[in-house]
């Protein structure tokens, strides 16, 4: 059954999808994302705009489409094909949200209510990066731009009105906390940790380790990026970080007990063939999806993946339960406000409101002139016609211009600016929108 045009969200996350499946679904590079979206755009004529979000915890698509159900099937079918996954399995796993449900879901994601670690702030940056990539590549326009900007507004309100992000933690901070507990429990002598990768997760892990007094051996395939991170650190920490060549990875993993991996490599960077038996216990934290570590079956190595850290994250959620209740309330209200705001953006209500203001001003001044005796009352009807024609002539060109830019990507700020100039509030816009729709049904 075809549905009216609207928003669509498809989610494969830590809530419904095992890490092995998320590895298959993940996109490691901007080029692979753009290639997938271009293929999807070619195959689905209903699909108008789209954003792909791929992180260690979720693969999600947000779309604006003429037919949400058809686009849902197109997305899942293409994913199944390019990743060689049974299409029925993907349909069974996927959480699908349409229109109000899609908006509510995205607002929850942006506000970190859907994260493994509720209150973490990393998702905001990831969502902004996903939007920027898709916008710059021409895959999303004004409809998803409106949605994303409102999502960020909702997330800011959640942060400001609750304490959900107070003393915020992340998967990286939880991993470091667990590593430190294991360090103290096993009496490891030297507080040294290997960190591989200088993306968001690697940077966060490094900062938390430094705060706890660990020395870091930092590796990255592009060594210059690791050196750049070193230069960005506070002076007090720079002496605690040593950048090593990536080629030394196979040696270092057999010399030190603590390892944090967080690269965007599409394959294992630590393979079982690189691992040697040692006489000490090793604790490896794989914070990447797809996973960086092949998962060795050795007694002296304990490997923790993103999903393994969910138990600690769940304890964090219990401590934040009161704040999440308020946060969900804000998300619910923001969802309703978003659709209400959309109703104020049409240019017809704006034009109607401006014309109404012009007419009211004309009549008001005419009445005042008659009361003061400047104009005989018997001329009122004729003067009203003259004034009506005058403001119609004056508003003709602005009306054409407003209609011409209505479908452009920068229409929203122009409309909002005009509302501010004429001091038009949203209540008036809503009333005049309904009047416009009623007039159309009569015609």
Q: Which residues are known to be catalytic? A: 56
Q: How far apart are the first and last CA of the chain?
A: 29
Side-chain-side CA neighbours of 30 within 13 Å: the count stands at 11
For residue 49, which of 32, 26, 31, 66 has the smallest C-alpha distance? Answer: 66
On whether the CB atoms of residues 299 and 157 are closer than 8 A, the answer is: no
**Is-contact 113 327, C-beta < 8 A?**
yes
3-state SS record for 262-331: CCCCCCCCECHHHCCCCCCCEEEEECCCCCCECCCCCCCEEEECCHHHHHHHHHHHHHCHHHHHHHHHHH
CA 161 to chain centre: 20
Contact 273/294 with Cβ under 8 angstroms? no
Q: For residue 296, which of 314, 275, 279, 312 has the smallest C-alpha distance?
A: 275
**In angstroms, rounded to a whole number, what is the distance separating the alpha carbons of residues 37 and 75?**
9
Token duo for residue 151 = 């999502």
- Contact between 119 and 169 under an 8 Å Cβ cutoff? The reply is yes
Q: How many residues does the chain have?
A: 443
Q: Residue 364, by phi and psi: left (phi above 0), alpha (psi -120 to 50) or beta?
A: alpha
């Amino acid at each position: 059954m075809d549905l009216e045009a609207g928003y669509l969200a498809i989610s494969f996350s830590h809530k419904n999808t095992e890490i092995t499946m998320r590895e298959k679904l993940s996109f490691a590079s901007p080029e692979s994302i753009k290639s997938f979206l271009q293929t999807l755009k070619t195959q689905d004529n209903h699909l108008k705009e789209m954003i792909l979000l791929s992180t260690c915890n979720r693969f999600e698509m947000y779309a604006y489409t003429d037919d949400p159900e058809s686009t849902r099937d197109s997305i899942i079918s293409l994913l199944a094909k390019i990743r060689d996954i049974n299409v029925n399995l993907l349909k069974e796993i996927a959480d699908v949200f349409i229109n109000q449900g899609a908006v509510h879901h995205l607002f929850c994601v942006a506000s970190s209510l859907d994260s493994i670690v509720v209150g973490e702030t990393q998702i905001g940056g990831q969502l902004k990066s996903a939007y920027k990539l898709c916008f710059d590549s021409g895959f999303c326009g004004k409809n998803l731009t409106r949605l994303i900007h409102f999502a960020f507004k909702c997330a800011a309100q959640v942060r400001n009105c609750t304490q959900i992000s107070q003393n915020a933690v992340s998967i990286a901070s939880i991993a470091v906390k667990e590593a430190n507990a294991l360090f103290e429990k096993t009496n490891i002598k030297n507080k040294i940790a290997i960190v591989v990768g200088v993306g968001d997760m690697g940077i966060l892990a490094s900062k938390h380790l430094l705060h706890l007094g660990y020395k870091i051996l930092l590796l990255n395939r592009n060594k210059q990026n690791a050196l750049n991170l070193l230069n960005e650190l506070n002076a007090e920490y720079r002496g605690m970080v040593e950048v090593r060549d990536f080629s030394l990875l196979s040696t270092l993993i057999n010399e030190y007990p603590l390892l944090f991996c967080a690269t965007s490599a599409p394959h294992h960077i630590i393979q079982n063939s690189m691992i040697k038996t040692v006489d000490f216990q090793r604790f490896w934290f794989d914070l990447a999806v797809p996973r960086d570590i092949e998962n060795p079956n050795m007694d002296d190595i304990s490997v923790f993946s993103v999903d393994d850290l969910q138990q600690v994250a769940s304890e964090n959620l219990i401590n934040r339960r009161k704040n999440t209740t308020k946060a969900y309330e804000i998300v619910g209200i923001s969802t309703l406000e978003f659709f209400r705001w959309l109703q104020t953006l049409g240019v017809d209500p704006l034009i109607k409101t401006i014309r109404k203001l012009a007419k009211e001003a004309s009549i008001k001044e005419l009445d005042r002139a008659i009361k003061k005796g400047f104009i005989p009352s018997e001329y009122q009807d004729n003067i009203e016609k003259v004034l009506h024609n005058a403001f119609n002539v004056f508003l003709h060109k602005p009306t054409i211009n407003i209609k011409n830019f209505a479908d452009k990507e920068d229409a929203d700020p122009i409309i909002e600016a005009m509302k501010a100039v004429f001091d038009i509030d949203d209540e008036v816009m809503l009333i005049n929108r309904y009047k416009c729709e009623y007039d159309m049904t009569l015609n």
